[in-house]
Amino acid sequence: MFLLAAACGLIVANLYYAQPLVGPISLATGLTASTAGLIVTVTQIGYVAGLLFVVPLSDMIENRRLTKILLMVAIGALLTAGLAPHAPLFFIASFFIGIASVVAQILVPFAAYLASEDQRGRVVGNVMSGLLLGIMFARPVASFVTSLWDWRAIFILSAIVISLLTAVLSFALPVRKPFPVVRYEKLILSLGAILYQTPSLRRRALYQACLFGAFSLFWTVVPLHLADHFGLSQIGIAWFALVGVGGAIAAPIAGRLADKGWSNALTGIAIIVAALSFLLIHLFQGSSTFVLILFFVSAITLDMAVSGNLVISQRTIYSLGSEARGRLNGLFMAIFFVGGAIGSSLGGWSYTQGGWGLTSLIGTILPLLALVYFLTEKRTIEHVEHRSHGH
């Protein structure tokens, strides 16, 4: 289980290494400031494509073999990104890094399959903690490595790490041959029906899409803003990103409280905290130490809101039924990563158009949209739940 948690963290980190390096990468590959946000967006679009079209294969193909193939793709894409001389090649590599990184979403259900019934929740929680730590630590690690060598080094280093991981997983993972109930085309076509028939999946995915959009916008623009307005070096940005990791503590706490039936209230709190995190740094602007401290506080509270709500949402989705668990999880992840891709591309555009003022305004609006939608929930969901308990 520890190996699966570590593997998920190391694999998902590949999606985030570029986030604090938007400045140096766009300089090296000749990108303009307004298109710099695409560095993160393209990887997230690749990830969404992988979630929709590759993850369903785990219900058909032997999982260990599928894992090895995807990790080989990741190694090739990471090496290409690290050596790319210009933007188009870097974008192609980023897209394939995104696609290959969905292997983490094949390993999470793998962990659930290996666990005994009474330990399943705890095991999935532990593996998800590894995944969340990978997300949180990717940014500071990328900044530290870049400050020591060059932005290309993190991609080359990651390719080496993933090569070692591939070798270890080849030996350590047991064979898991699923029993394909339907053909691939039918699996893909069933995604639309599942989304249509599962209102709680739609709600959870849209809440998380708004929060993750704000989160992606924040982490795409903040490294640029800290360098421009506070004169922070790559090391300074790394320390800033490291503080944000503190937000990961919300995940296990949220999981435990959700077990006690607090899911709805916690979701509302998470959405409000995310909105306030951005409102704070929107209202107080400037280059003073006080404003810099507010940025540190917002980084922690925003990360807490996003990681806490993610765990609550996944708990809800995993309880919807086991036979379509892979597809439910794939849909949920795909929708909220679309939110992330929109957030990061909006970030690059808004920062060049209207500076931090416009960016932080958009960052405040995104969770507020989720809040408006959340306020329509009470009656409908309770009504459905009463009906299902009646059955």
CATH code, domain carrying 318 = 1.20.1250.20
On whether residue 184 sits in a domain, the answer given is no
The residue written with tokens 């555009």 in the block is 349
Residue 163 lies in a domain: yes
User: How far is 380 from 340, CA to CA, in rounded Å?
Assistant: 27
| Co-location of 210 and 327 in the same domain | yes
Number of neighbouring beta carbons within 10 Å of residue 215: 30
292 and 342 co-located in one domain: yes
Does a structural domain hold residue 185?
no
Residue 49 lies in a domain: yes
Q: Which of 176, 205, 225 is the last residue of a domain?
A: 176
Tens of pLDDT along the chain (391 residues) come to 888 888 999 999 998 888 877 778 887 777 776 677 787 888 988 998 998 888 878 777 778 888 999 999 999 999 998 888 888 888 999 999 999 999 988 887 777 777 666 666 667 767 777 887 888 788 888 888 988 888 889 999 999 999 999 999 888 887 777 776 677 888 788 888 888 888 889 999 999 999 999 998 998 888 888 888 888 887 888 888 888 777 777 777 787 787 777 788 889 999 999 999 999 988 888 878 898 999 999 999 998 898 888 888 877 877 776 667 777 878 888 898 889 889 988 988 898 888 889 999 999 999 999 999 999 876 444 444 433 444 4
Question: What one-letter code names the amino acid at 31?
Answer: L
Q: Do 121 and 14 reside in the same domain of the chain?
A: yes
The last residue of a domain, from among 150, 176, 202: 176
Q: Are residues 21 and 76 in the same domain?
A: yes
Is the domain of 249 the same as that of 138?
Answer: no
Same domain, 205 and 120: no
Query: What integer pLDDT is reported at residue 78 of this predicted model?
Result: 93
Alpha-carbon gap, residue 68 to 341, rounded angstroms: 27
Task: Tell which of 176, 200, 229 closes a domain.
Answer: 176
Please tell me the total count of domains within the chain: 2
Residue 110 lies in a domain: yes
Same domain, 122 and 239: no
- φ/ψ of 179, rounded to 5, equals -100, 105
Domain assignment present for 38: yes
Count of beta carbons in the 10 Å neighbourhood of residue 290: 8
**Residue numbers of the domain that contains 95:** 1-176
pTM over 0.85: no
Contact present, 43 and 95 (Cβ < 8 Å): yes
Same domain? 308 vs 198: yes
Residues 56 and 126 in one domain: yes
Amino acid identity for residue 214 in this structure: A
Q: Half-sphere exposure of 262 toward its Cβ, with a 13 Å CA cutoff?
A: 14
Q: Are residues 202 and 328 in the same domain?
A: yes
Are residue 285 and residue 361 in the same domain, yes or no? yes
52 and 165 housed in the same domain = yes
